[in-house]
Structure 1
């Protein structure tokens, strides 16, 4: 095969570069601006170069490689570069014959053709005598098909041919080749936009990602001679609202570079929205045509009609007759800057927009320009729903006078009625959206507000009734920019909920930093934060309004936490949630530096389920003894603590410096020895501790004498003591009752769930509650199987006028229907009881009428929990009559 003739064919100019159509592949290659797009496979995280992926696939056993990518993602240029390299003796020399076709051009051909005709007459570089040899050695042939989405490959629609000389339609011919009916054994490299029709095609699929950040950097530096100008243009594009979804495509980068260069050379301001960019593009294109205002307006209206027709018919192209019906017959010599022509030499050329974005922008512009039509914005958007992705963006931008003014100077004024109509629809639909819980709709609303660039409109639409508290996790970069814009316009936000953000990148965090700094509460629970994102979060905290931040289950780790601490030293943060963040002793050292800085406002830290150990807690105790530390609550559940670190805690409490009011040591192996150590500090006059949680801390009744002495001390200030899920037994619990019966004992909340309590303990608790000396308002004694007789002592106490109890938990204590009469009498007599927990007992349908009646009659009772008792479906119907009963 004559490779020189292939070179000649490829190197022959077929078109001209356009502002919105992209630079010609040959121009890119010759000017040494070619940068291979990136590709990614579903099973791989890496993004290799597209060229490398194609070469690797076609030099192996693969016979079909399918490139799938959006408009302008670099597929066509990559294919032409590959064929050019083959013709120059570079890559893919395992193929003797390479045929390159653009199916958009072939689709304009009339009638039918055979494979032989296709190769001989529509490629023009293979001698007829080579055809038999080629057909005998199909494994040496590579077909390169661009624009495959122009063909319908569904096998059910074709009768495949196997004879190379049989004439058939272009679609049938291509389908026969790709499905192996024709020239079996040949290899194929095909490119298409994402369509459902590709599902029927088997082969190695490569997703064309286009340009990521390094490729964009290289491209801009290749376009601009001045590195400073290149950097300015790139930074502006990457940070401008609305560009994020499309700036990965080489074609869009060409458009941006081209128009930015014009604007920068003229000293003009660069666009701030996608709408402003395309206003500048359209102004530039119209000025090159040198048309009068009336003609320019007529041209844009006609192009808008064509854009609408292409969108509604879901065809990417129009015939000459269809164009004429849109009013473009007068402008056939002017439309080249907007439209691409295929089959120009044939008797049925087809026309298509160079850019889908430009197509949608022209549709939006013509909507506002057309003063004669009566169709409103809502109807027009509904009609194009799912067919025009950016139409509402462009309508939103063009509805603002500052953005449309350059266009009106060329085309005349937009229709004021249509602008008012769009704004009414926009405000109404936004208010409805923001009362709902669909975050995707919220994102779209924020994007539209960002496109409008109207701060007063944001404040008008996002009223206090708007539901801004729903989760905005997994935001795209554009969503981050839009949300940030909204927050900036509002001035502050009650809550920024980023729950379950799977990967907060550095760019996203940088974009969101102002919104974070304006939020009183930030929720990042169950999220994953990149290392690069944490300094931006820290910076936002250091200069912001945030008082409460939830980082639970972010698996932050010591390294990222150290970076975060840079922002914690000087901020307004008062509460920090660090549950399950994979922190160790090292993080405690960083936290100490924050707490003792003299500027930290932190008063509540939740560090549950981190492996800080005794050494970590000992370090934290250094902070507790500092006069600068403001910590009042410290939650350390499951932190691998033992009695070894309790001495440091006790010293901190006795120091006179610690302001700690609440300490949660749940699920740590504190043991009786640890409790004994802490009880010494509870008796100290400097100890300010109010709440102490020993839930499941491997305690026995041996700790109770120490607790009893502490509770009876004149200096003890404990109002809450949680001892549930410890084997205290009867003897230990009775000692506690003895302490609680003493006048002056401050305890108001006591937890004794699953503590091996007996009926004797319940009898003593009942006596205590009736004594008039006890301050207990909340008592938890569930999961102690004492039955009706045991709990009866508590019912009698609740009915007594001296009992102050407001909350009582008797879950799984073996209650039956026999207790209900005493229970109801207690509720009726009590003036304080508000909540009763009775889950997992053995009450039946017999008790339901009385329970419903007493709850309906009671003014004090707010809630009774009866879940997991022995009720039937019929009983549930009765229980639902009372909204204060949970069942």
Structure 2
């Protein structure tokens, strides 16, 4: 794929006015009309400084497309006399939130008109007059209701900020959702469903298709990570003391990144959150792209997008500002962060990409906050050293899915029916993590279930999207347009655009892209619900037009429909780009004479894709070939060609592909394809093996291993604990089985490899797999495996990842020496805040290894609570090192089967009588302790009786006197000792 096209994907779901908008998807042709005072008899005169119109010169609202669902903002065109505003800091009074809201679906309008019928002009005299919106927000002391304005701002600056807030509020406060039947704009705060946002590891770039990423994420428990509220995106979590300047928020298309941005801005503009920020500049990449050839200063760039800031000293310490760059994946600028161009002055001119890079790097306005959103594939365009926090929007969790449908559908009985149906289909229910898909499903199922059922209710993605396309076409039939175009023509043109841009990796298009596919830009802008619900024109702050589909999956479905119709109607393969001679054309047609031939070509193309960008396209293409979907297509298109098709040929070809493929992970999409074709024979074999316990007793073929991975990953039951033993038999080594099942291991919270025969080779594969998802694993048990120091060093690389959240690590009897212990200690020192339990028992750690661990334990950030060093060759020398370190978090310590002796026990006794010691369990079995050591322990416990609950002195020569002394302590209610073993 051409690098210039790789990251042009759009993330903002056009159906969500201004945003991807989890819930708000464009009614028909919802446009924002902003007219200048072109036809006024007399001009409006403004006297004084810092005057701003109610239109803010052009808020630049995106034209968001529901048909005739418009926000009209007209100037006073019919006034007989001009309006005169005298004095300073005057702004007009048109910002009454949703002054008029049409109840009719068409046109569904919010009309914001000025007083056109006034006989006399309105005159405002005096200083600091502001709009009614500002007056609602501020009292006479310049205070936002409920929130105080920052005290360092002057009165003029407060009014300038308030005016700016009112303009952003008017731009971002509404979401649009649904067809014209439901298409009135709604206030964001009334319908907003909280999104699940977490702090995320940067990790490696996930090259899976985004739907696959959603499918794997769906298996994770919502309690695994600490959720972050949208408003807290710049606030450190407890225990994080470093300030956060730059935040990168990742998430797949349609998951809710842009609506999170919108929510942040609205809450700020309403004075609810983040009032320490004085100005927010939202600058979507899709709009900045339109200025990629410009040379100007940062100050000039801001004045282009936000003209009302011309009088504001952005570089002044008086203002704390936030820049929001939404949609990094849509960027068409050449962001070369190795550039030597350094800019420090906001009045210094440079190319737009240089301005952005210097702003992100902190050369320009180093005190400014930066928020960047991106789809995962483009997230590494910004160097990690420039980013202080990486967050991930995961869309709706399980409760939020249901909340969405209950808010979206007023009939709660119908809502329950829809929720039940979606839960019955694993593939559909998983997709409901994506807010846009929730809207698509609600649109289809609400119509189908609220009427007399017309055929089969969709159970696959192909059925759902085909029904959605039919519904949008029917909306068009309810309208009357002067310029008509056949459904087939528009669908095929949109499909051609969808396919061509999908192959290039683009989700955002510009006018030249449309013209290449024979789409008239004007026609596309005004054409029915078919376009406005599926394909949309946006008008940005810079007044440039960009186009996109509501969601990537809709583009993929239309691209597949185009490929299918192109073949059945014209017998032409969309993957054949070059012109062919007559002879080669005959050979090609012979090779691909059937639909299964096209399918095989598509399977090969998708399988070779490194980032899986054709995976969902392939699912749709295969699903469209089923007779049930062919019937739907005939309802949609009057001319559908016919060709020979043997479904079994396609099924066998896919199974052959699975057998030849050595990577079960790459085969997962092929199993989804088999599911679309209605073939589940491989899955049934594996499910039989799982139920009968025959996995370990049989030598599985490569296709069966792949099927096992697919079954485990798509199971409705979360497999939080992965136990390798249940899959190992005489036919396969542990390392081989571990390699086969790594996709499952990556999605498990607890990985149990106890006594399985895993070597350093398996450990290397395990570490490599976990590095791509370090924040998921919580427990790793490698006890009884021949891992050795080499394997531990590999694990140490994983442990030092700051995003690794491993809580428990068991390495008992793994052949670890002090060399491996040194690697572990070094890794944990660089990331000391997570590991709580470490078991190094039955390893040759020795005193030198214990001394290194002691250095780690002295780190105040170390959270280690349980340390097992049973049979590790520790003497009183190592015990002395431990004693000096164990005065903070340690709760459990095992030194059994070591040559500790009385001298070591006496040192431990010094620790126990320290009031800061919190040790609750101490195991000293077979440590060479006599009654002398026992006396020291008794004395220590008498002086600090509050913590120790369990003491094991079994297999020692304690003697009667020692037993008697400690037994008295156990029986005394003033002491906490509960368990005492001799």
TM-score norm. by structure 2 comes to 0.45
Choose between structure 1 and 2: higher helix proportion.
Answer: 1
Larger radius of gyration: 1
TM-score, normalised on structure 1?
0.50
